[in-house]
Amino acid sequence: MPEESIDHIDFDDLNRRAVSQPIVSHIYTADPSAHVFNGRIYIYPSHDVESNIPFDDLGSHFAMEDYHVISMDSPSSNAVDNGVALHVKEVPWADKQMWAPDAAEKDGTYYLFFPAKAHDGIFRIGVATSSSPTGPFIPQPEPIKESFSIDPAVFKDDDGHYYMYFGGIWGGQLQRWRTGEYKDGEGPLMYLPENDEPALCGKIARLTDDLLEFAEAPKDVVITDESGNPLLAGDNDRRFFEASWMHKHNGKYYFSYSTGDTHFLCYGIGDTPYGPFKYGGRILNPVVGWTSHHSICQFWGKWYLFYHDSSLSKGVTHLRSVKVTELVHDEHGHIQTIDPYLK
């Protein structure tokens, strides 16, 4: 439910029909990256704040400044806000817009991966480390070399390799890197492919052993149709927009993502971390608010979808709240589509 359709919503009724409620309500949280560390769930969301910046297609009104880490003993337990884990003022290279982060653990060290606009206005991806899953996190003095765009999601495969998926179009600037170099210009829709051209892809890069740099040049994450052809840019209900995530189920790799302006969470299935990924369907139908961003993790043998909507703020696009609900793979490996609000 994009912002333009909220004028006549009865939010009391909507919240009664919601399949889940916000896990915290004292702050606004969004873009949740959920992981299980040491038997507990840790959620790394962005922290939405009030903003006087007008709505635009660049996402300028998403003016987040810091990160909190939320922890839970189980998906049904009370959530604990562990306070500020990292602030933009602590990151030497970052200027503003601490957007959707992710986290990983290796050998007792916890890594927070985050996008931010550098002082030149270009999104880069940074890394910060801590001895605790809740932080505080100490940032590296520079962003990852050759990093760009937004929405990092780090996946550890069974062989011990770590991969970063990332990218987002429009305000996420991915389209500005089509030639391999950043192109400036006004408006978020410049440099997008034509509708009959292959859609822009999210990116994947294996990380170095210390998880601080790319071990290879980023590659396209190709999503294909039922005939094996890459999805087209005009296929707005299925093509990639932002919010990459990866999980593995029964030996298959599930690349999931948001379609952005059409407000779906979708997924594709592949045989390797690099894909290609055959389009599999929708995970979540549209929520209240413009954005849709998620993560998927397993806990006690069940799978859960962490997502957000703007129901608590009564539809304010940049004031969102993290929610969680069970996710089910059917006997064929497909994900059952979730309706966020009961009829």
Please tell me the distance from the alpha carbon of residue 141 to that of residue 126, in angstroms, as a whole number: 9
Range scoring the smallest mean pLDDT among 41-55, 218-232, 326-340: 41-55
258-279 mean pLDDT: 98
What count of residues does the chain have? 343
DSSP element (H, E) containing 14: helix 11-17
Q: Locate the DSSP E strands across 185-289.
A: 202-206, 219-221, 223-224, 242-249, 252-258, 265-270, 277-284
Domain that holds residue 49: 3-327
Quickly state the pLDDT bin for 52 (edges 50, 70, 90). Answer: confident
Predicted TM-score (pTM) of this structure: 0.96
Quickly state the pLDDT bin for 185 (edges 50, 70, 90). Answer: confident
Please tell me the distance from the alpha carbon of residue 166 to that of residue 206, in angstroms, as a whole number: 12
Quick check: is 26 in a domain?
yes
Question: pLDDT (tens digit, 9 = 90+) per residue, 108-166?
Answer: 999 999 999 999 999 999 999 999 999 999 999 999 999 999 999 999 999 999 999 99
Quick check: is 10 in a domain?
yes
Quickly state the pLDDT bin for 323 (edges 50, 70, 90). Answer: very high
103-111 mean pLDDT: 98
Quick check: is 277 in a domain?
yes
CB neighbours of residue 174 within 10 Å: 26
Q: Residue 127: phi, psi to the nearest 5?
A: -135, 140
For the chain, percent of residues with pLDDT exceeding 70: 98
Task: Take residue 250 and report the two structure tokens written for it.
Answer: 């029964």
88-92 mean pLDDT: 98
pLDDT above 70: residue 80? yes
Quick check: is 141 in a domain?
yes
* Residue 7: predicted pLDDT: 65
Task: Take residue 255 and report the two structure tokens written for it.
Answer: 């690349």
220-242 mean pLDDT: 98
178-184 mean pLDDT: 94
75-103 mean pLDDT: 98
Cis peptide before 136 (omega within 30 of 0): yes
- CA end-to-end distance (rounded Å), the chain: 14
Quick check: is 108 in a domain?
yes
* Residue 2: predicted pLDDT: 46
CB neighbours of residue 204 within 10 Å: 24
Could you list the active site residues? Answer: 31, 242
pLDDT above 70: residue 1? no
206-216 mean pLDDT: 98
Beta partners for residue 214, in sequence order: 207
* Residue 125: predicted pLDDT: 98
Quick check: is 338 in a domain?
no
260-280 mean pLDDT: 98
Instruction: Identify whether the C-beta of residue 165 lies closer than 8 Å to the C-beta of residue 115.
Output: no
Please tell me the distance from the alpha carbon of residue 109 to that of residue 113, in angstroms, as a whole number: 13
The label of the residue with tokens 């009724």 reads 13
pLDDT above 50: residue 3? no
Domains contained in the chain, number: 1
For the chain, percent of residues with pLDDT exceeding 90: 92
Quick check: is 43 in a domain?
yes
Quick check: is 220 in a domain?
yes
Nearest to 84 by CA among 25, 136, 32, 46: 136
* Residue 165: predicted pLDDT: 99
Sheet holding 153-156, edge to edge: 153-156, 162-166, 202-206, 219-221
* Residue 4: predicted pLDDT: 46
pLDDT above 90: residue 61? no
CATH number at residue 103: 2.115.10.20
Please tell me the distance from the alpha carbon of residue 181 to that of residue 144, in angstroms, as a whole number: 16
